[in-house]
Copies of this chain bind each other. A is one copy, B any other.
Amino acid sequence: MKALVINGKNEPLSLETRDEPRTGEGEAIVKIHAAALNHRDLWIQKGMYAGLRYPIIPGSDGAGLLIGSDKPVIINPSINWGDKPGHQDQQSFRILGLPDDGTFAEYVKVPASNIVEKPAHLSFEEAAALPLAGLTAYRAVFIRAQVREREKVLITGIGGGVALFALQFALAAGAQVYVTTSDGEKMRDALSMGARDAVNYKDDNWAQELQELAGSFDVIIDGAGGDGMNMLMNLASPGGRLVFYGATRGNPSNVEVRRIFWKQLNILGSTMGSPEDFDAMVAFVNRHHIRPIVDRVFPLAEGEAAMRHMDESRQFGKIVLKVL
């Protein structure tokens, strides 16, 4: 089969011919029609991820046909979550695409329990864009933050896959959603999707602008971390829930603890999601006819160009690889 392979740190994705995977007990094989990129793939390519091994076929997101039944399916990339709803098992848990070979290939092998029916209203390209980012956003918004109708929600860094799904999910739940980005075009796109307002986080007074627009926020969903965290805690309403699902800007150099206890804040870490979260996410997407935002589709052979496109952070939505 054809597959994209990373052969070492900072090596480009290389299109190679590999043996097709063979199933063992409890496993399934999907003939991939479309895959999607995640920042995780980029970190793996850059050698900045725990448990690296090369060569590896990366890719956590895929949609295609289940071998043996020809049913259109998507893959839940959250493997061996374990039996606790509150957290993944820290030993057995892994994300598809490292250490197991991933979806940037014509075929991928996964546990049969990670196969879920493809939402009928989505093309394979759209469906491939859903799993990892949709799951992460769903858990952040509904399981961790428990966003409710009419609540004020701030989502930072709109344009990324998780942030966009969080926007779509929170809007579908009836929340009033505000976003930040550093890109004027992304601001306009987010407003056209239904965001109440958008602020440029590169403005010196971005936090003050948000305060003037919204007062304070019941819920804040952030994947950046860094020194912005203190401002986010300032922008949170008393009793507010702040969910952090990433730290692309690193750690904060200071955290105002008094603000945490006096405002009775809830600072909630979130990553990926349980099988129940995945099923609930797909059901929500079906019920609300949510369509993932696809930024651009590349043919499989242009995987390296797709990676470089993601590395430039210009995308609004998911970057998809068309495999078939």
Q: A residues engaging B (CB < 8 A)?
A: 84, 86-88, 90, 225, 229, 238-239, 244-247, 250-271
Contacts and interface: CB of A to CB of B under 8 A. Distances in A.
A87 to B, nearest CB: 4
A245 B265 CA distance: 11
User: Of A259, A262, A267, A269, which is in contact with the most chain B CB atoms at under 10 Å from its CB?
Assistant: A269
| Most chain B Cβ neighbours within 10 Å, of A87, A245, A250 | A87
A217 to B, nearest CB: 14
Given A244-B257, A257-B225, A257-B247, A262 B269 contact: yes
A250 B268 CA distance: 21
A144 to B, nearest CB: 8
A88 B268 CA distance: 20
A84 B252 CA distance: 30
A269 B267 CA distance: 8
A7 B84 CA distance: 56
Given A251-B254, A264-B271, A266-B266, 19 more contacts: A84-B239, A86-B238, A86-B239, A88-B264, A244-B261, A245-B261, A246-B257, A246-B261, A247-B258, A251-B257, A252-B254, A252-B255, A263-B269, A264-B269, A264-B270, A265-B267, A265-B268, A265-B269, A266-B268
B271 A239 contact: no
| Copies per complex of this chain | 2
27 contacts: A84-B238, A84-B239, A86-B238, A86-B239, A87-B238, A87-B264, A90-B238, A225-B257, A229-B255, A229-B257, A244-B257, A244-B260, A246-B257, A247-B257, A247-B261, A251-B254, A251-B255, A253-B253, A259-B269, A260-B267, A261-B270, A261-B271, A263-B269, A264-B268, A264-B271, A265-B268, A267-B269
B256 A251 contact: yes
Contacts of A250: 257
B264 A257 contact: no
Given A263-B269, A264-B270, A254 B253 contact: yes
Contacts of A268: 264-267
A103 B256 CA distance: 31
Contacts of A244: 257, 260-261
Q: Which of A84, A238, A244 has the most CB of B within 10 A?
A: A238
A243 to B, nearest CB: 9
Contacts of A254: 251-253
Contacts of A245: 261
Contact of A252 (B87, B257, B263): B257
B229 A264 contact: no
Contacts of A264: 86-88, 268-271
Contacts of A262: 269, 271
A201 B250 CA distance: 28
A229 B264 CA distance: 17
Nearest to A84: B239
Contacts of A86: 238-239, 264
